[in-house]
Structure 1
Amino acid sequence: MSSLPRLFVTVGLVPDSAFSLDEEQARYLTRVMRLNIGDAARVFNGRDGEWRAEITDIAGRRVEMTPVEKLREQAGQGALPLTLLFAPVKKSETDFIVEKATELGAAIIQPVITERTQTRTVRLDRFQKIALEAAEQTERLDLPEVVDALSLDAALAALPDGTALIFCDEAGDETDAPWGGQAGRAGPMAGVLEGVKGRAAAILIGPEGGFSPAERTFLRGRPETYPVSLGPRILRAETAAVSAMTLWQAICGDWG
């Protein structure tokens, strides 16, 4: 892995075509990393691959860089798109979910408001910054699309046709038993995923307290929905998100 600093930029990356960094990036390279004219960093924009770019001008707060060598082509990033749908939880836990979803290759990160969602206001700008920093640190060549919160119905309606919805269903069917008892529990996620290989997928993680009975009935009856279990223990929402995405990448994604 290169020791050069790595930055996401929005401009097109063309050989010998100079561009200016934003003020925060300029400050990072010159004041934190102590780089000067002639020093280099790696840059990517989600379209043109990754480039080695050199600092060619510093004027006050303005830093200009010029791409000089393409290091990686854009093609070859995870072939199957994965969407993460999750009910926001507490601030630090939600930040963790966004960061780890980026690290684990989510193409779209979608907060979802369910009946039992406790945190209904999300800071989209904060999530996008967390995702950008995670992409820079983990060698992704693109950024996930982090979108504003939607109701459960709206989020499901927005999924492209043919998307397999992996519904992490921790409950059983026994109404008088804690978490629905054991009857009617979903099958192990690893086994279910074997049947959806080669398809775009969305993973749905519920809120603290799980989905309401009405939501669970709706999801269980929805076409292209695959209820799955993450084991005999009730996981925290952030643990469930990481566990489910890890299984998907190992079985259906780019880890294979």
Structure 2
Amino acid sequence: MPATPAWPPKSAPRLFLAEELGEGRMVTIDGAQAHYLGKVMRVREGDAVILCDDVTGEWAARVTEAGKRDVTLEVVQQLRAREAVPDLWLCPALLKKDRFDLILEKATELGVGRIQPVLTRRCVADKLNHERARAITIEAAEQCARTALPALAEPVKLDTLLAGWPEDRALFFADENGGDNAAAAFAAHSGAAAILIGPEGGFDEAERAAIRAHPQARTISLGPRILRGETAAIAALAVWMARAGDW
């Protein structure tokens, strides 16, 4: 006899919802998410959808009604509890929109716990569309099967960030002028941490001096080459996750 197909299938669409989920609850989805399910994924009554709520974790749901403007689902069973997220913040200077979009997407995929955008003197951009940025992190989390979303903060000026920095969190500063080997520094550290990445033109000398003087700052090197801001952020996160994170 043929084996019974696994349920829900791995191909089932994934969505993050704002409301908390639970077994037996009925959920109605409208707007862009309903369009995605109905017009893009073409779900029909009985089809499986995987839902996450960033609180309880991941759930399998079954479509009970697929209308033209909304989709109703019944939450059937929990698949996974909300994952434990490494206590790592990424503090990237704002970049041009497409490059910062890449940071948002890849930082989410790599498992960062919080993204704190930073404004520096050489930043080309000075604003962040928070709603759009949040949508990028949600889409990335759906794609990579995360059950927890990274916290996304509003941009702050560098001096404000340093002034309010928590005493119990190490601040790894990726300095193009050199520092300790990043992999070795990450492996030797335990506890809360953050990685600070500069803008396209780098930090100016006054900013670099202020960061180096901060008691929680630890200067690191990402190698012999000058990296773009988005490349530095992705590389640093990958190294951290491999040496001290959840890889």
Indicate the TM-score class for this superposition, using the shorter chain for normalisation: over 0.9
Structure 1 residue corresponding to 2:62, chosen from 54, 61, 80: 54
C-alpha distance after superposition, 1:199-251 (max 9, x if no partner): 11110000112111111111111111110001111111111000100110011
Judge conservation of contact 2:58–2:78 (CA < 8 Å) in 1: yes
Question: 2:240 aligned with 1:248, yes or no?
Answer: yes
Alignment length (residue pairs): 239
Judge conservation of contact 2:162–2:214 (CA < 8 Å) in 1: no
Structure 2 residue corresponding to 1:237, chosen from 226, 229, 236: 229
The corresponding residue for 1:190 is 183
Tell me the amino acid that sits aligned with residue 50 of structure 2: R
Structure 1 unaligned spans of 5+: 172-184
Q: Distance in 1 between matches of 2:24 and 2:131?
A: 32
Tell me the amino acid that sits aligned with residue 194 of structure 1: A
Give the alignment's TM-score, normalised by structure 2.
Answer: 0.92
The corresponding residue for 2:3 is none
Judge conservation of contact 2:38–2:68 (CA < 8 Å) in 1: no
The corresponding residue for 1:176 is none
Cα distance, 1:156 vs structure 2: 3.2
Question: 2:194 aligned with 1:202, yes or no?
Answer: yes
The corresponding residue for 2:22 is 14
Structure 2 matches for 1:153-168, cutoff 5 A? 153-168=159-174
Q: CA RMSD in A?
A: 1.4
In structure 2, the residue corresponding to 1:20 is in which secondary structure? strand
In structure 1, the residue corresponding to 2:116 is in which secondary structure? strand
Tell me the amino acid that sits aligned with residue 84 of structure 2: Q
Alpha-carbon distance change, 11 to 83 in structure 1, aligned in 2, over 3 angstroms: same
Structure 2 matches for 1:57-136, cutoff 5 A? 57-74=65-82, 76-78=83-85, 80-136=86-142
Cα distance, 1:88 vs structure 2: 1.3
In structure 2, the residue corresponding to 1:204 is in which secondary structure? strand
Deviates more, 1:186-195 or 1:134-143: 186-195
The corresponding residue for 1:36 is 44
Judge conservation of contact 1:77–1:141 (CA < 8 Å) in 2: no
In structure 1, the residue corresponding to 2:117 is in which secondary structure? strand
Tell me the amino acid that sits aligned with residue 93 of structure 1: R
Q: Distance in 1 between matches of 2:52 and 2:73?
A: 13
Q: Distance in 1 between matches of 2:131 and 2:147?
A: 20
Tell me the amino acid that sits aligned with residue 216 of structure 1: R
Structure 2 residue corresponding to 1:26, chosen from 9, 24, 34: 34
Structure 1 residue corresponding to 2:154, chosen from 148, 157, 177: 148
Cα distance, 1:158 vs structure 2: 4.5
Alpha-carbon distance change, 22 to 201 in structure 1, aligned in 2, over 3 angstroms: farther
Q: Sequence identity, in percent?
A: 43
Judge conservation of contact 1:89–1:118 (CA < 8 Å) in 2: yes
Q: Distance in 2 between matches of 1:85 and 1:22?
A: 34
Cα distance, 1:159 vs structure 2: 4.1
Cα distance, 1:157 vs structure 2: 4.0
Cα distance, 1:38 vs structure 2: 1.1
In structure 2, the residue corresponding to 1:192 is in which secondary structure? helix
Q: Distance in 2 between matches of 1:22 and 1:137?
A: 20
